[in-house]
A and B are shown apart, each in its own frame.
Chain A
């Protein structure tokens, strides 16, 4: 470990946040815990943090609203803490651009593992700086700068969305299974009934333009996964 990654933990349960902070600090992270959504948004937009952990259920502005405000101005990776069994929060969170979610209550070990997976993915850019841009049709992906262009116009993607798109681009013209996408882009094995990948991909489709024939460049391949069309 070189420099500890700075994590922002937004949770109204002060005691829980304290314990998680103790755990994560010992695990090699640097953690700031704030108890409400408003200060969470302010801190997250300060640019001092590599990752934001956001509790969905908070009084005042909740996690979902906080995420909306963060995403309006920043692509900092966000991990949502959602109530176990509450699918709606999870889907809405992912649609709004959260990078991943952890159901609460969770073991701190699992939380730390997820944090590492997200950080590893978002920091890959630095290690692979020498890589050339990948171009497929009107789509141009620049792994070095972690930027995406469609028809020469920049597209704002979250860190997870970028990872997914990158995997698809590298495999352009052949279907990539969801399990593969989960392993390579989310950094974790695919869990049964997990819709995260579908939600992320639908969001990417939304942000990218359409091909001249009106189709989306990402196609669902029945029972095989997703495929980026190579003309």
Chain B
């Protein structure tokens, strides 16, 4: 029983008592005035040896006894009902407090909905809001934890290779050039990883850079040119199907990176001799961009996961990238109120659709 309970209890009880006393007094006066004076006579008359020389000044003491039984029962009833009411109000608040304590202690799995029973009032709403809050927070914290775990794991691979290379350099000084090259390469990989992580964390913190008008035609042509150059080594072609595209408001650097990541991902998963198609069209105030490849596609239930940091398709080794590219793309597109979706083509291969507001 907390302080709040006793406050509720005291106030409710006092209010009830005041009401009972007020109403009781009122009726008492009513009755007194309604009674004829003669009605008071019998007590005096019955008194042995009583005379009439005790006049009105002494009337009050001879008034009928105060209604003790009704007053006592009113007192008990009001006590009980005040107790019940106070308990009814204070109980959910006590539950909530306990839940807040648990949440503050780090347990975000705590829920109060069940302890609210069948209540349908503001307190129950508060409990539901609390549940909703802890659930959201739990998801966010889980996400951060997973990210941290993934980051440390991802750092581990290049570090393990670095250590192996250093061991080799010590053991085989005659191949020092080769091992130093390896060490350099691992260093660069770590640099890329840290750079991508920083970009991702900035985007998640809502820092999306300065927004300006971006010429989409020019942007796509640059990206496709670069991709063609990169794909040539594996005889993967890149086709661009877009003419006279309008401008889009976004941060040019980030938007470039977002689309480039999608195109490079398609390139990476294309078979030798395959073709990556980049097609864009305008419909109303939307610009729809589609990047499709002829790779193996992705299992239907993993389609949303590819935008999660560090997601890697099955059977994909740690050779190509860190799985951060598409996660960055998704957050960049979301920052300019666009949408990005992935779906498997019926002919096989994955297609990623980006919708931007013109």
Contact mask A15-53 → B, CB, 8 Å, 1/0?
A: 110011011001100000001000000000000000000
Report if A16-B157 is in contact (Cβ < 8 Å); known contacts: A59-B312, A105-B163, A108-B163. Answer: yes
Report if A13-B317 is in contact (Cβ < 8 Å); known contacts: A105-B156, A108-B168. Answer: yes
Please name the 6 residue pairs, one residue from A and one from B, whose CB atoms are nearest each other, closest first.
A108-B167, A105-B160, A19-B164, A105-B159, A105-B163, A16-B161
Q: Say how far A23's CB is from chain B's closest CB, in angstroms.
A: 5
Within the assembled complex, what's the spacing in Å between the Cα atoms of A226 and B161?
39
A and B contact pairs by CB, cutoff 8 A, 23 listed: A12-B318, A13-B160, A13-B318, A14-B317, A15-B161, A15-B319, A19-B165, A19-B167, A19-B182, A26-B171, A35-B317, A57-B153, A59-B315, A59-B316, A59-B317, A60-B315, A83-B153, A84-B156, A104-B156, A104-B160, A107-B163, A108-B163, A108-B171
Q: Say how far A197's CB is from chain B's closest CB, in angstroms.
A: 26
Task: Report yes or no: A106 in contact with B153, Cβ–Cβ below 8 A.
Answer: no
Contact mask A115-148 → B, CB, 8 Å, 1/0?
A: 0000000000000000000000000000000000
Q: Within residues 176 to 194 of chain B, which ones have a CB less than 8 A from any CB in chain A?
A: 182
Which residues of chain A are within 8 angstroms of B164 by Cβ–Cβ distance?
Answer: 16, 19-20, 23, 108
**Cβ-neighbour of A83 out of B156, B163, B182, B318 (below 8 A):** B156
Contact mask B264-301 → A, CB, 8 Å, 1/0?
A: 00000000000000000000000000000000000000
Interface residues of A toward B: which range? 20 to 34
Task: Report yes or no: B167 in contact with A26, Cβ–Cβ below 8 A.
Answer: no
Which residues of chain A are within 8 angstroms of B319 by Cβ–Cβ distance?
Answer: 14-15
Is A207 an interface position by the 8 A CB rule? no
| Residues of B participating in the A interface, judged by any CB pair closer than 8 Å | 152-153, 156-157, 159-168, 170-172, 182, 312, 314-319
Within the assembled complex, what's the spacing in Å between the Cα atoms of A12 and B319?
10
Is A109 an interface position by the 8 A CB rule? yes
Task: Report yes or no: A26 in contact with B160, Cβ–Cβ below 8 A.
Answer: no
Q: Say how far A98's CB is from chain B's closest CB, in angstroms.
A: 19
**Cβ-neighbour of A19 out of B161, B314, B317, B318 (below 8 A):** B161
**Residue of A with least CB distance to B159:** A105
Within the assembled complex, what's the spacing in Å between the Cα atoms of A104 and B172?
22
Which residues of chain B are within 8 angstroms of A20 by Cβ–Cβ distance?
Answer: 164
Q: Say how far A125's CB is from chain B's closest CB, in angstroms.
A: 31
Q: Say how far B168's CB is from chain A's closest CB, in angstroms.
A: 5
Within the assembled complex, what's the spacing in Å between the Cα atoms of A26 and B169?
12
Which residues of chain A are within 8 angstroms of B153 by Cβ–Cβ distance?
Answer: 57, 83
Task: Report yes or no: A12 in contact with B317, Cβ–Cβ below 8 A.
Answer: yes
Which residues of chain A are within 8 angstroms of B312 by Cβ–Cβ distance?
Answer: 59
Within the assembled complex, what's the spacing in Å between the Cα atoms of A104 and B167?
14
Task: Report yes or no: B168 in contact with A23, Cβ–Cβ below 8 A.
Answer: yes
Task: Report yes or no: A59 in contact with B314, Cβ–Cβ below 8 A.
Answer: yes
**Cβ-neighbour of A107 out of B157, B166, B172 (below 8 A):** B166
Supply 15 further A-B pairs (C-beta < 8 A) apart from A20-B164, A57-B153.
A13-B160, A13-B161, A13-B318, A15-B161, A16-B161, A16-B164, A23-B164, A23-B168, A26-B171, A59-B317, A83-B153, A105-B159, A108-B164, A108-B168, A109-B167
Q: Say how far B153's CB is from chain A's closest CB, in angstroms.
A: 6
Which residues of chain B are within 8 angstroms of A59 by Cβ–Cβ distance?
Answer: 312, 314-317
Most buried by B among A16, A57, A59, A107: A16
Most buried by B among A12, A13, A106: A13
Q: Say how far B99's CB is from chain A's closest CB, in angstroms.
A: 29
Which residues of chain B are within 8 angstroms of A15 by Cβ–Cβ distance?
Answer: 161, 182, 319
Report if A16-B171 is in contact (Cβ < 8 Å); known contacts: A59-B315, A83-B153. Answer: no
Within the assembled complex, what's the spacing in Å between the Cα atoms of A16 and B171?
16
Report if A60-B156 is in contact (Cβ < 8 Å); known contacts: A19-B165, A19-B168, A107-B167. Answer: no
Task: Report yes or no: A13 in contact with B316, Cβ–Cβ below 8 A.
Answer: no
Task: Report yes or no: A13 in contact with B171, Cβ–Cβ below 8 A.
Answer: no
Within the assembled complex, what's the spacing in Å between the Cα atoms of A151 and B182?
57
Task: Report yes or no: A13 in contact with B157, Cβ–Cβ below 8 A.
Answer: yes
Within the assembled complex, what's the spacing in Å between the Cα atoms of A83 and B153?
8
Within the assembled complex, what's the spacing in Å between the Cα atoms of A139 and B164?
44
Within the assembled complex, what's the spacing in Å between the Cα atoms of A107 and B162?
9
**Cβ-neighbour of A106 out of B163, B182, B314 (below 8 A):** B163
Within the assembled complex, what's the spacing in Å between the Cα atoms of A85 and B152?
10
Which residues of chain A are within 8 angstroms of B318 by Cβ–Cβ distance?
Answer: 12-13
**Residue of B with least CB distance to A81:** B160
Task: Report yes or no: B163 in contact with A60, Cβ–Cβ below 8 A.
Answer: no
Most buried by A among B160, B166, B168: B160
